[in-house]
Amino acid sequence: GRQLVIAVDGPSGSGKSTISRRVAQAIDARYLDTGAMYRAVTYAVLRDNVDLGDAVKIAAVAEGVELTIGTDPATPHISVDGIGVDREIRGAEVTSAVSAVSAVPAVRRLLVDRQRAIIAESERIVVEGRDIGTVVAPDADLKVYLTADAEERARRRSSENAASQAATAADLARRDRLDSTRAADPLRQADDAVVLDTTELGIDEVVERLRQMLDKVT
């Protein structure tokens, strides 16, 4: 049948990953976590002790690294130079450095090309990130922009890790600010995106609403 591309953008803690994976599983689609790709490059940058202010060296790491990106929504494994880094890329070190790495235009060019190639070879795919509806897949069949109150997003994230809610809230606010104000492909709502505030919605409710939107576009 016809190709189906669903773009899911929004800030951290908006529910993007959980929702995107659930929707992909429900409609038997692939799933691409573009944030994991920026995190994997950041892992390599830290591994190589590269200065976060050195865009030239960061770009060189991104070019030299071999990323393997799984697109199975049940087990989306990612590896860097043959080594699985699923756990490492969620750690505090990578999380605090990723916004600096993802702001480097050469890193974005490389990863956006790779993302487009993965999308091109998928019959159905749910792609989540910050710039999917605006830059990576502007022709997506459905664009969803998920949001939630800052406090609720921090609550969700701190229940996933050991950090306190206050520390998580501060980190989220910092990342949101960096991700929304950077020059290259900032976090932005596409004009034709459906905005869904998940503050008061359960996961099942959001998944159900997305499926209803999908019924209308397919």
Q: Annotated binding residues for ATP, as ranges? A: 10-18
3 state SS of 97 = helix
14 binds ligand C5P per the rule CB under 6 A: no
Displacement of CA 181 from its chain's centroid (Å): 17
122 binds ligand C5P per the rule CB under 6 A: no
29-68 footprint of ligand C5P as x/- string (CB under 6 A): -----xx--xx-----------------------------
Nearer to ligand C5P, 41 or 210 (CB): 41
179 binds ligand C5P per the rule CB under 6 A: yes
Q: Which of 20, 71, 99, 158 binds ligand C5P (CB under 6 A)?
A: 99
Q: Which of 5, 12, 29, 134 binds ligand C5P (CB under 6 A)?
A: 12
Tokens of 12: 């951290």
d(CA 52, CA 205): 40
d(CA 84, CA 62): 17
Beta partners for residue 194, in sequence order: 144
Q: Are 141 and 7 in contact (CB under 8 A)?
A: no
Tokens of 114: 């790779």
Nearer to ligand C5P, 12 or 147 (CB): 12
* Residue 134: DSSP 8-state: I
How many amino acids of this chain bind ligand C5P (CB under 6 A)? 13
Among 179, 152, 180, 182, which Cα is nearest to 168's? 152
Nearer to ligand C5P, 138 or 218 (CB): 138
d(CA 20, CA 32): 9
Q: Could you give the angle at which helices 92-102 and 34-47 cross, rounded to 10 degrees? A: 100
Give the nearest distance from C-beta 186 to ligand C5P in angstroms. Answer: 8
Q: Which stretch binds ligand C5P (CB under 6 A): 72-80, 128-136, 164-172, 200-208?
A: 128-136
Give the nearest distance from C-beta 167 to ligand C5P in angstroms. Answer: 16
Q: Are 173 and 166 in contact (CB under 8 A)?
A: no
Q: Which stretch binds ligand C5P (CB under 6 A): 45-53, 65-73, 98-106, 208-216?
A: 98-106
Binding residues for ligand C5P, rule: CB under 6 A, are 12, 34-35, 38-39, 98-99, 102, 129-131, 175, 179
